[in-house]
A and B are shown apart, each in its own frame.
Chain A
Amino acid sequence: MVISREDLEHIAKVARIALTEDEINELLPQFNEILELLARARELPLVDEELLSTTDAEDEFREDAAIPFSDPDAIVAQFPKKRGRYAEVPPNL
């Protein structure tokens, strides 16, 4: 087994997913099955190079011009809870 029950509970906490008991019972064997499958990659003859992306884009910089977004109100309108123009969350004292 790659992941233990305690591992899974810890990972869920880091990932901010509040898993129920049933979900843990269902997910735990699935994770281990998947990870064991993926672990086979270790036995494959891999090249000694790490590749992050296949983009050809050059690292061109952007000119420093301030262009305000046309509709900030549409962003504010999406806040699930708001106070005036602020997004609202529980205070942290």
Chain B
Amino acid sequence: MVRIGFEIHVQLKTKSKLFCTCPTNFLDVEPNTNVCPVCTAQPGSKPNGINEEVIRKAVLVALALNCKIRTEPIRFMRKHYFYPDLPSNYQRTSEPFAVDGELAGVRIREIHIEEDPGRYELRDGTVDYNRSGVPLIEIVTEPDMTSVEEARDFLKHLRAVLDYLDVILYPQIGFRVDANVSIEGGERVEVKNINSIHGVVRALKYEIARHKRMLAMGKKITRETRHWDEVRGVTVSLREKETAEDYRYMPDPDIPPYHIDPALVEQLRAQMPELPHQKKDRLVSEYGIDESAAWTFVLDKGLGDLFESLADRVGVKNATAFCLNLRGELNYRNKYLSDIQKPERLESLADLYFSGKITKPVYVDYLRKVLDDPTFVPKAQELLSEDEIRAIAREIIAANPDAVADYRNGEKKALNFLVGQIVAKTKGKADPKKAIQILRGELNR
């Protein structure tokens, strides 16, 4: 049996870093500009106190994951290891502030707060501290997942919860995952550094296949830490030296232990927005769609919102069809709706299509363009007039005497062929219904 558990790192959406007032928008600025004495560990600097918003967002997540919030004092610990992206060469990481949660049938063991390190580009040998000190929570699950599908399902649910709470700093980055995986007869292996749900699926498939192969060859699977190489699609063993590090955990004397006020917890509980499972129930009861479609929509927050907006405008049936089709296209691209720039283009696309201003083939073409080309704006087609269609129909009839003969001999398929020729010739600018009407008229004349 396969057993899978996760440690999930989420960068929290705050304006300033965990222990200093540097801005958190590290993706949008020049290297080493969001830096100060605190987050670059200049001699003499001290952490400036814990960012309140980190606590609020962290507790919100813990509540949404049905965790118990601890009320005893919680200490920040120093976890020592030398690495160029870690300015003080220790990472500040809190004791768990929440324990014993559950999501989608997977138990949450604990959640704690950490500071993100900077960025060390291994190949270039360059270090940028803009990210250093950005707040993270680490969510640790029990090894409750028994297949890749369950694992993927859990991560999708988690991602949806985080999106509904609007707590992810950069949705396009999402979260980072360390996965631990074991199969019967082998030890637990930890795979670090996986950056997407898709990556987790690939890494798990690779790792499970590797374990099975090893056991089949009579080899032992020993406890180890491996690194996921996204480019090559393989996991690589980390050298002994790096895994055998003694972190020398020590409470940070610069940070007094913090308490989470039960009043704050109650306040946040009261402010909790609608969560994916609640929205699923609502979509089923309010719009009468089936469970599975509802889940599909709510697990991508943007898609769920789009569905509701469209249902009011183009009707439930059309909205359902549109959103299911859209989900398929997004799946193909491993994307969330939030990854698509200017998503309002999708609404105008649906409006155009369902009001008959564009034809189905054009709609299919436009949808792909909207997803792949951020500059593309869907517009109503200039449809050809009946006279124009008639002129083209005559051309087609003249050019295809065999098909015309077939049609007249009662071959229904020949008509479809000829309509197809018109659609192709007009590059979709002819309404197919009209084209059939006109074509019939011409053929029967």
Interface residues of A (CB under 8 A from B): 14, 16, 52-53, 55, 57-69, 72, 75-76, 83-93
Q: For residue A59, which residues in chain B have a CB less than 8 angstroms away from its CB?
A: 50, 73, 256-259
Cβ distance A64 to chain B, nearest Cβ, rounded Å: 4
Q: Could you list 28 A-B pairs, sorted by A, with CB under 8 Å?
A: A59-B73, A60-B49, A61-B51, A61-B55, A62-B50, A64-B16, A64-B51, A64-B53, A64-B54, A65-B15, A66-B16, A66-B21, A67-B16, A67-B21, A68-B34, A72-B33, A72-B35, A75-B32, A75-B36, A84-B31, A85-B31, A86-B31, A86-B32, A87-B127, A87-B129, A89-B84, A91-B123, A93-B122
Chain B 66-88 against A: per-residue CB contact (8 Å), 1 yes, 0 no? 00000001000000001010000
A62 to B253: give the CA distance in the assembly, Å. 18
Task: Tell me the complex Cα distance, A19–B40, Å.
Answer: 27
- Nearest A residue to B19, CB-CB: A62
Q: Is A62 touching B22 in the complex (CB atoms < 8 A)?
A: no
Chain A contacts for B128, CB-based, 8 A: 85-87
Q: Which 10 A-B pairs have the closest CB atoms?
A: A69-B36, A64-B53, A61-B52, A86-B126, A91-B125, A62-B49, A59-B258, A67-B21, A66-B23, A66-B15
- Of all chain A residues, the one with the shortest Cβ separation from B251 is A52
Q: Are A58 and B48 in contact (CB under 8 A)?
A: no
Residues B84 and A72 in contact, CB atoms below 8 Å apart: no
- Give, as a whole number of angstroms, the nearest-CB distance from B13 to chain A: 10
Q: Output the nearest chain A residue to B47 by Cβ-Cβ distance.
A: A62
Measured in the bound complex, the distance between the Cα atoms of B122 and A93 in whole Å is: 6
Chain B residues with CB under 8 Å of A64's CB are: 14-16, 51-54
Docked Cα-Cα span, A25 to B154, in Å, equals 57
Query: Which of chain A's residues have a CB closer than 8 A to the CB of B344?
Result: none
Chain B, residue nearest A62 (CB): B49
- A45, chain B: closest CB distance, angstroms: 25
* Residues of chain B lying within 8 A (CB to CB) of residue A63: 52
Interface of B is mostly: loop
Query: Residue A16 contacts which of B32, B36, B82, B253 (CB distance < 8 angstroms)?
Result: B82
Chain B 229-264 residues near chain A, CB threshold 8 A: 245-246, 248, 251, 253, 256-259
Complex Cα distance A14/B82, Å? 9
Instruction: Point out the residues of chain B lying under 8 angstroms from A87, CB to CB.
Output: 32, 84, 126-129
* B42 on interface, CB distance cutoff 8 Å: yes
Looking at the complex, which one of A55, A57, A66, A84 makes contact with B24 (CB distance below 8 Å)? A66
Q: A64-B15, A66-B16, A75-B32 are in contact. Are A92 and B21 (CB under 8 A)?
A: no
Q: Digit string of B106-132 for contact with A (CB within 8 Å is 1, else 0)?
A: 000000000000001011111111000
The binding surface of chain A is classed by DSSP as: loop
What B residues does A90 contact at CB under 8 A?
125
With CB as the reference atom, state the residue of chain A lying closest to B38: A69
Cβ of B37 under 8 Å from chain A = yes
Report chain B residues within 8 Å CB of A91.
122-125
Interface assignment of B28: CB less than 8 Å from any CB of chain A:
no
Task: Known pairs A66-B22, A68-B22; list 15 more (Cβ under 8 Å).
Answer: A59-B258, A61-B51, A64-B16, A66-B16, A67-B21, A68-B21, A68-B36, A69-B22, A69-B36, A72-B32, A72-B36, A86-B124, A87-B32, A93-B122, A93-B123
List of A residues within 8 angstroms of B33 by Cβ? 68, 72, 85
- For window 386-445 of B, CB contacts with A under 8 Å fall at none
Report Cα–Cα, A68/B51, bound state, in Å. 15
Expressed in whole angstroms, the minimum distance between the Cβ of B7 and any Cβ of chain A is 23
CA distance A16 to B90 in the complex (A): 13
B30 an interface residue at 8 Å Cβ cutoff? yes
A68 and B24 alpha carbons, distance in the complex (Å): 10
Nearest-CB residue, chain A, relative to B55: A61
Write out the residue numbers on chain B whose beta carbons fall within 8 Å of the beta carbon of A88: 125-127
A79 to B23, CA, bound (A): 21
**Which of the listed residues A58, A63, A64 has the most CB atoms from chain B within 10 Å of its own CB?**
A64
| Chain A residue at minimum C-beta to C-beta distance from B15 | A66
Give the residue name and chain of the B residue nearest to A11 (CB).
Answer: B246
Contact of B125 among A58, A84, A89 (CB under 8 A): A89
Give the docked Cα–Cα distance between A89 and B53 (Å): 34
Within the complex, what minimum Cβ distance (angstroms) separates B335 from chain A? 29
